[in-house]
Amino acid sequence: MADGRYAINCSIALADVPVTDRAVQARRLGYEAVEFWWPFQSQAPDRDAVAEFVESVKRAEVETVLLNFPGGGPSVADRGLMCVPGRQEDFVGSARTALEIGRQLGVRRFNPMVGNAAHSWAPDTEAFETAVTNLLAIDSMLGELDAVVVLEPLSGFPDAALKTHDDAHQLVIAARAAGARNVSMLFDFYHAAVNEDPVLDSWAVDIGLIGHVQVADAPGRGWPGTGNLPLNAWLQRLHDSGYDGRVGFECGGDPLALDTAIRYLGETG
Q: Which of 108, 129, 151 is nearest to 245 (CA)?
A: 108
Q: What's the whole-model pTM score?
A: 0.96
Please state, in angstroms and rounded to a whole number, the distance separating the CA atoms of residues 233 and 240. 10
CATH 3.20.20.150 is the classification of domain 3-265: yes
Instruction: Please return the burial class of 64, using the count of CB atoms within 10 Å of its CB with bins 0-12, 13-18 and 19+.
Output: buried
Please state, in angstroms and rounded to a whole number, the distance separating the CA atoms of residues 91 and 97. 10
User: What pLDDT was estimated at residue 155?
Assistant: 96
Q: At what angle do helices 165-178 and 126-144 cross, to 10 degrees?
A: 70
User: What pLDDT was estimated at residue 189?
Assistant: 98
**Which amino acid type is present at position 157?**
F
Instruction: Please return the burial class of 18, using the count of CB atoms within 10 Å of its CB with bins 0-12, 13-18 and 19+.
Output: exposed
Please state, in angstroms and rounded to a whole number, the distance separating the CA atoms of residues 74 and 28. 35
Average pLDDT for runs of 10 along the chain of length 269:
80 98 98 98 97 98 98 95 97 98 98 91 94 98 98 95 96 98 98 97 95 97 96 94 96 94 77
